[in-house]
C-alpha cells in the first residue's frame, strides 16, 4: 500500500424528500445563486418547482440557466460564467446528473478569473479558487456529486477534457433515491456501466498489499451488478435505488482509491469517443473496458483471475489465471448486454474511419502515455480500439 492523504469534504444529505432541504443548505453559504440544470427532465418531474420553493422559503434569489446537454459544452459554461460575473452570484447549484454538475463546476472556476476557463482543461493553468457548488443529484452514475472532477467538451476541435481539483468538491450534495425513479432504462444501464468502470479503474492497480480496498471495490461492484437488473425490472424500487445511488457516490469519492493507484486509460479513450460521436459516457465505457481488459490481461493474469473469481463467481484457477480472467471478461460483456448495452464500437454507431485520429488525440500525438496498470502509447490505444470493433 502506498502513502496517501484522504479528505472528502462534500456533505451528503441522503434520503426521501431531502431536496426540501436545499434552500437551507444554500442559504448557509450564499444569498444569490445560479440555478443550473439540463434539458428539462427536472421540470417534467416537478423537481424544479420543489427546489424553487425551498430556495424561496430560505430567502435565496436565483438566476436560471438550463440547457446542459449530456457531454456538457463549453459554450454554455461561458454563458454561465458571464451570468455569475454580471450578477455577482455566489454559488452554483446543479440540479441534475454528472453533465449538469460538471458544467456547474466549470462555471464555478470560470466565475472567479479574468481569463478563459478552458485553459484549465488544456492544462495551461491551474485553478486557485472557485465559487462554491451545491448539487441535487438525479442520476447515480458519474459520481461528480462528491468528486474532484469536471469533464467538458469544447465544440471547437471536439475535445472532451477533464480538470481535477480539490477546489471543486461540492459543498453539499442532496441524494434522494426517489429522484431516480423517472430515469429511462438506457440511462440506468449507462449509470451502472459508469459506476462499474470507476471501480474497475481503481481495481486494476499494480500496487501490492491492497487487499482491504480490493474487498471494498469487489463489494461495491457486486452491489451494482445485483441492483441494476432489479432497477430495470422495477424502476420504483426505493431500497435498490438507495443502495445503487450510494454505491455510485462511494465508487468515485476517492475513498476506494486510498493507498493504491488507479488506471484511467479506459476513461481517457472513452472521452475521445464521446467527444467526437456524442455518445453516452456509460455506453462508451461498456465498449472500451472489455477491449482494454483483453489488451491488458497478460500484464497481471492473477489480478484478472481474482476479479473474475470474486466478482463474477468464475471458478478460481490460479494455475490457469489467464483463462479464468478471460471468462470474467466474457461475463462482464454478458452483463452489459443483459442490461441493454452494446459491447462493440458498431453498437455506438462508431465506424473504423476515425480510430487513428482518436488514438492520436488521446495520446497527444504520441507525446504522452495514458494508463498506469499498463502504460499505453498511440499504437496500444489504436490496438484497443481495434479490439472494440
Ligand atoms: O438533461 P435532462 O433533461 O435532465 O436529462 C438527462 C440526460 O438526458 C437524463 N436524466 C438525468 N436524471 C434524470 C433524467 N431523466 C429522467 N429522470 C431523471 N431523474 O439523463 C441524461 C443523462 O444525464 P447526464 O447528466 O449526462 O448523465 P451522467 O450523470 O451519466 O453524466 C455523464 C457526464 O459525466 C461525465 C461524463 O464524461 C459525462 O460527460 N463524468 C464526470 C465525472 C466527474 N465529474 O467526476 C466522472 C465520470 O467518469 C464521467 O467522465
Ligand atoms: Zn466515468
pLDDT (tens place) for every residue of the chain, 389 residues total: 999 999 999 999 999 999 999 999 999 999 999 999 999 999 999 999 999 999 999 999 999 999 999 999 999 999 999 999 999 999 999 999 999 999 999 999 999 999 999 999 999 999 999 999 999 999 999 999 999 999 999 999 999 999 999 999 999 999 999 999 999 999 999 999 999 999 999 999 999 999 999 999 999 999 999 999 999 999 999 999 999 999 999 999 999 999 999 999 999 999 999 999 999 999 999 999 999 999 999 999 999 999 999 999 999 888 899 999 999 999 999 999 999 999 999 999 999 999 999 999 999 999 999 999 999 999 999 999 999 99
| Neighbour count for residue 253 (Cβ, 10 Å) | 21
Q: Residues 204, 45: contact at Cβ < 8 Å? A: no
- Closest ligand to residue 45's CA: 1
Mutation test of ligand 1: which of 94, 103, 151 has the most ligand atoms closer than 8 Å to its C-beta? 151
Q: Is the CB of 351 under 6 A from ligand 1?
A: no
Q: Whose CA is nearest to atom 16 of ligand 1?
A: 183
Q: Whose CA is nearest to atom 40 of ligand 1?
A: 142
The CA distances from residue 240 to 14, 130, 201, in Å, are 14, 35, 24
Q: Whose CA is nearest to atom 22 of ligand 1?
A: 70
Supply the Cα-derived Rg of the chain in whole angstroms: 20
Q: How far apart are CA 389 and CA 387, in angstroms?
A: 6
Q: Tell me which residue has cell 478569473.
A: 113
The minimum-distance atom of ligand 1 relative to the CA of 45 is 17
Q: Is the CB of 132 under 6 A from ligand 1?
A: no
For residue 136, the SS3 value is strand
| Neighbour count for residue 196 (Cβ, 10 Å) | 27
CA of 179 to the centre of ligand 1 (A): 13
**Lookup: cell for 223:** 452491489
Q: Is the CB of 384 under 6 A from ligand 1?
A: no
Alpha helix segments (H runs only) across the chain:
22-27, 41-44, 47-57, 74-87, 98-110, 118-121, 185-203, 211-233, 238-250, 265-277, 281-296, 301-312, 321-338, 355-362, 378-387
How many residues would you count in the chain? 389
Q: Is the CB of 267 under 6 A from ligand 1?
A: yes
- Closest ligand to residue 274's CA: 1
Mutation test of ligand 1: which of 35, 144, 195 has the most ligand atoms closer than 8 Å to its C-beta? 144
Residues ≥6 apart with Cβ < 8 Å to 201: 262, 263, 264, 266, 267
Put residue 277 in one of left, alpha, beta given phi > 0 → left and psi -120 to 50 → alpha: alpha
Put residue 245 in one of left, alpha, beta given phi > 0 → left and psi -120 to 50 → alpha: alpha
Q: How far apart are CA 386 and CA 7, in angstroms?
A: 39
The minimum-distance atom of ligand 1 relative to the CA of 187 is 20
Amino acid at each position: 500500500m502506498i502513502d496517501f492523504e484522504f479528505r472528502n469534504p462534500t456533505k451528503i444529505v441522503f434520503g426521501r424528500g431531502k431536496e426540501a432541504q436545499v434552500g437551507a443548505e444554500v442559504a448557509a453559504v450564499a444569498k444569490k445563486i445560479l440555478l443550473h440544470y439540463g434539458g428539462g427532465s427536472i421540470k417534467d418531474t416537478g423537481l424544479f418547482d420543489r427546489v424553487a420553493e425551498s430556495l424561496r422559503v430560505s430567502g435565496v434569489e436565483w438566476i436560471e440557466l438550463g440547457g446542459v446537454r449530456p457531454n456538457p459544452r463549453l459554450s454554455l459554461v461561458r454563458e454561465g460564467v458571464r451570468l455569475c460575473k454580471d450578477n455577482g452570484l455566489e454559488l452554483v447549484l446543479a440540479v441534475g446528473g454528472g453533465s449538469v454538475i460538471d458544467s456547474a463546476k466549470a462555471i464555478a472556476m470560470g466565475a472567479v478569473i479574468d481569463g478563459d476557463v478552458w485553459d484549465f482543461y488544456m492544462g495551461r493553468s491551474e485553478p486557485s479558487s472557485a465559487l462554491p457548488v451545491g448539487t441535487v443529484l438525479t442520476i447515480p452514475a458519474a459520481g461528480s456529486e462528491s468528486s474532484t472532477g469536471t469533464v467538458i467538451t469544447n465544440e471547437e476541435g471536439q475535445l472532451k477534457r477533464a480538470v481535477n481539483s480539490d477546489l471543486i468538491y461540492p459543498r453539499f450534495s442532496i441524494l434522494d433515491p426517489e429522484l431516480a425513479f423517472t430515469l429511462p432504462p438506457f440511462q440506468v444501464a449507462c449509470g451502472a456501466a459508469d459506476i462499474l468502470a470507476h471501480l474497475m479503474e481503481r481495481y486494476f492497480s499494480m500496487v501490492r498489499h491492497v487487499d482491504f480496498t480490493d474487498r471494498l471495490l469487489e463489494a461495491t461492484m457486486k452491489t451494482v451488478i445485483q441492483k441494476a437488473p432489479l432497477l430495470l425490472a422495477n424502476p420504483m424500487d426505493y431500497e435498490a435505488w438507495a443502495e445503487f445511488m450510494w454505491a455510485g457516490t462511494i465508487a468515485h469519492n476517492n475513498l476506494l482509491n486510498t493507498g493504491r493507484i488507479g488506471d484511467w486509460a479506459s476513461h481517457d479513450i472513452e472521452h475521445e469517443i464521446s467527444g467526437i460521436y456524442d455518445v453516452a459516457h456509460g455506453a462508451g465505457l461498456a465498449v472500451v473496458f472489455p477491449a482494454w481488459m483483453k489488451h491488458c490481461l497478460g500484464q497481471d493474469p492473477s489480478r484478472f483471475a481474482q476479479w473474475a473469481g470474486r466478482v463474477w463467481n468464475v471458478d478460481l484457477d490460479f494455475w490457469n489465471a489467464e483463462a479464468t480472467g478471460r471468462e470474467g471478461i466474457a461475463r462482464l460483456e454478458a452483463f452489459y448486454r443483459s442490461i441493454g448495452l452494446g459491447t462493440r464500437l458498431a453498437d455506438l454507431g462508431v465506424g473504423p474511419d476515425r480510430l487513428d485520429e482518436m488514438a492520436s488525440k488521446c495520446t497527444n500525438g504520441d507525446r504522452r502515455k495514458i494508463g498506469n496498470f499498463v502504460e499505453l502509447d498511440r499504437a496500444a490505444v489504436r490496438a484497443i480500439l481495434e479490439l472494440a470493433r
